[in-house]
Amino acid sequence: MNNEAKYLGKATKYPKQYAPEVLVPVPRVLNRKIYGLEEHSLPFTGMDVWHAYELSFLTQKGMPVAGLLKIIYPSDSPNIVESKSLKLYLNSFNMERFGNRSAEGTEMVLQTIKDDLEKLLETKVEVSFFSKEESSKADFTDYEILEEQPEVENTEFSIFHEDPELLKEDRNNQEKEINVSTHLLRSNCKVTFQPDWGSAFIHLKGRNIPDRPALLQYIVSIRNENHFHEEICEMIYKRLWDKFSPEELMVSCIYTRRGGIDICPVRTSAPELMPENLVNKNKLMSKLLRQ
| Residue after which a domain boundary falls, among 130, 156, 172 | 130
Strand partners, 56: 66
pLDDT score of 101 more than 60: yes
Catalytic residue among 196, 211, 233, 264: 196
**Residue 201 confidence class, pLDDT cut points 50, 70, 90:** very high
Most confident of 4-18, 127-141, 237-251: 237-251
Query: Domain end: 130, 154, 186, which one?
Result: 130
Ordered DSSP codes for the chain: --GGGSSTTS--PPPSS--GGG--EEETHHHHGGGT--GGG-S-EEEEEEEEEEEEEE-TT--EEEEEEEEEEETTSSEEE-HHHHHHHHHTTTT-B--SSHHHHHHHHHHHHHHHHHHHHTS--EEEEE-S----B--STT-EEGGGSGGGGG------S--GGG--B-TT---SEEEEEEEEEEEE-TTT--EEEEEEEEEEESS--B-HHHHHHHHHHGGG-B--HHHHHHHHHHHHHHHH--SEEEEEEEEPPBTTEEEEEEEESSGGGS-TTTT-TT--BPP-TT-
Bigger pLDDT: 175 vs 188: 188
Domain boundary among the residues 102, 130, 158 is at 130
pLDDT at 3: 67
Residue ranges making up the domain that contains 102: 3-130
The pLDDT of 50-60, averaged and rounded, is 97
Q: Does residue 280 lie in a domain region? A: no
- State mean pLDDT over 34-51: 94
Angle at 264 between CA 262 and CA 75, to 5 degrees: 130
Shared-domain flag, residues 121 and 158: no
Q: Provide the pLDDT for residue 10.
A: 53
d(CA 264, CA 285): 11
Residues 107 and 192 in one domain: no
Please check whether residue 44 is in contact with residue 19, taking contact to mean a CB–CB distance below 8 angstroms. Answer: no
Q: Are residues 20 and 71 in the same domain?
A: yes
Is the pLDDT score of 2 beyond 80? no
User: Does residue 209 lie within any of the structural domains?
Assistant: yes
- Active-site annotation holds for 264: no
Residue 88: the pLDDT is 96
The span from the CA of 57 to the CA of 106, in Å, is: 8
Q: How many residues does the chain have?
A: 291
Q: Check whether 48 has a pLDDT greater than 90.
A: yes
- Read off the CATH number of the domain in which 236 is found: 3.30.1130.10
SS (H, E, C) 197-210: EEEEEEEEECCCCE
291 vs 198: CA distance, rounded Å? 7
pLDDT value for 134: 74
The confidence band for 8, taking pLDDT boundaries of 50, 70 and 90, is low
Mean pLDDT of all residues in 198-207? 97
* Percent of the chain surpassing pLDDT 70: 96
Q: Give 122's contacts (C-beta < 8 A, 6+ positions apart).
A: 77, 78, 79
Rounded Cα–Cα distance for residues 105 and 21 (Å): 21
Q: How many domains is the chain built from?
A: 2
Instruction: Summarize pLDDT for 215-268 with one digit per residue, the tens.
Output: 999 999 999 999 999 999 999 999 999 999 999 999 999 999 998 999 999 999
189 given a catalytic annotation: yes
pLDDT in tens, 67-77: 999 999 999 99
> Which is the catalytic residue, given 48, 139, 189, 211?
189
> Would 135 be classed as within a structural domain?
no
